[in-house]
């Protein structure tokens, strides 16, 4: 059986004037359905490029990418918009919430786009923000804002949840709580979650660890000894 996510021989080249930069050079990996996957690597290794290609935010130069048997790499920009709308949820390092909308309205903005959304208020309750729905982002802490952002991504009921350094702007304890939320969501709902990080310690909680270096996938490891967030320290 083919894997849920297939990333095959992907090359991504940026041209700035005369200079060609290979952000990705023959990168490949697979992810199974329902896995909690961590992509780890140093800054500039190509992690974010992988995530952007996987999420339909960027196109690739060579290679192929499939999600659930559907090829993404050949889609045009209209098809990619539809793909992003129905199949993927994004979580960013700096939350990127609309400041002039309440937590609930932010989540509703996403549910209005989806064909088969979850109830916005329910999802916010699931992430532990039942009491804060009517608050604006500026009235919430960083951790709470990231929870709203996760709720916004989950409420669309996507096939794939992509998180770019979701704990990058949070303190240690809050970061752990957010990771726990992501992990619990993955295990309870069977959602496939991909987390990007430069923090190797986080990879201990993943089912699959993909190490990226200089635009190449250095190794893919199936983690036999998955630890809970509480057990890891950094």
Tokens of 194: 């991909």
Give buried/exposed letters for 12-29 (b at 16+ CB in 10 A, else e): beeeeeeeeebbbbebbb
CB of 40 to other proteins, least distance (A): 22
**Which stretch, 16-24, 90-98, 116-124, 167-175, contacts other proteins (CB under 8 A)?**
90-98
89 close to 114: Cβ distance less than 8 angstroms: no
- Closer CB to other proteins, residue 147 or residue 156? 156
Closest to 142 measured CA to CA, from 96, 205, 193: 96
- Residue 101 is given by DSSP the state S
Distance CA(233)–CA(135), nearest Å, equals 32
The residue within the footprint of other proteins, chosen from 21, 82, 201, 222 (CB under 8 A), is: 82
The residue within the footprint of other proteins, chosen from 23, 54, 60, 88 (CB under 8 A), is: 88
**Which stretch, 23-31, 135-143, 170-178, 212-220, contacts other proteins (CB under 8 A)?**
135-143
36-65 binders of other proteins (CB under 8 A):
55, 57
Kindly state whether residue 169 participates in binding other proteins, applying the rule CB under 8 A: no
Kindly state whether residue 100 participates in binding other proteins, applying the rule CB under 8 A: yes
CB of 138 to other proteins, least distance (A): 5
- Closer CB to other proteins, residue 50 or residue 217? 50
Which residues does 175 contact at the CB level (< 8 Å), separation at least 6? 143, 167
Q: Name the strands in the sheet holding 160-164, side by side, starting at the edge strand that comes first in the sequence.
A: 88-91, 160-164, 192-197, 36-40, 208-213, 216-222
CB neighbourhood size of 65 (10 A): 22
**Which stretch, 16-24, 41-49, 149-157, 178-186, contacts other proteins (CB under 8 A)?**
149-157
Please, is 30 exposed, middle or buried when counting C-beta atoms within 10 Å of its C-beta (0-12, 13-18, 19+)? middle
Distance CA(230)–CA(205), nearest Å, equals 10
**Which stretch, 3-11, 14-22, 136-144, 195-203, contacts other proteins (CB under 8 A)?**
136-144
Kindly state whether residue 84 participates in binding other proteins, applying the rule CB under 8 A: yes
Kindly state whether residue 81 participates in binding other proteins, applying the rule CB under 8 A: yes
Kindly state whether residue 70 participates in binding other proteins, applying the rule CB under 8 A: no
The residue within the footprint of other proteins, chosen from 13, 61, 63, 92 (CB under 8 A), is: 92
Q: Which residues of this protein are in contact with other proteins, per CB under 8 A?
A: 55, 57, 81-86, 88, 90, 92, 94, 96-101, 109-110, 113, 136-138, 149, 152, 156
């Amino acid at each position: 059986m083919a894997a849920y996510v297939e990333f095959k021989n992907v090359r991504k080249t940026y041209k700035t004037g005369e200079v060609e930069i290979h952000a990705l050079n023959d990168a490949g990996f697979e992810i199974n359905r329902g896995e909690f996957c961590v992509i780890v690597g140093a800054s500039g290794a190509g992690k974010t490029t992988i995530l952007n290609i996987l999420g339909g935010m960027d196109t690739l130069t060579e290679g192929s990418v499939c999600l659930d048997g559907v090829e993404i790499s050949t889609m045009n920009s209209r098809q990619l918009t539809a793909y992003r709308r129905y199949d993927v949820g994004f979580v960013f390092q700096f939350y990127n919430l609309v400041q002039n909308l309440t937590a609930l309205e932010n989540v509703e903005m996403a549910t209005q786009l989806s064909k088969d959304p979850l109830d916005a208020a329910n999802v916010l309750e699931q992430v532990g923000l039942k009491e804060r729905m009517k608050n604006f982002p500026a009235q919430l802490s960083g951790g709470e804002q990231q929870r709203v952002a996760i709720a916004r991504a989950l409420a669309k009921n996507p096939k794939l949840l992509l998180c770019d350094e979701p704990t990058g702007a949070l303190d240690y304890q809050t970061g752990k709580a957010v990771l726990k939320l992501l992990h619990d969501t993955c295990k309870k709902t069977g959602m496939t979650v991909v987390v990007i990080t430069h923090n190797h310690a986080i990879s201990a909680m993943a089912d699959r660890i993909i190490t990226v270096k200089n635009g190449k996938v250095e190794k893919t490891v199936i983690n036999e000894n998955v630890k809970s967030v509480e057990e890891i320290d950094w």
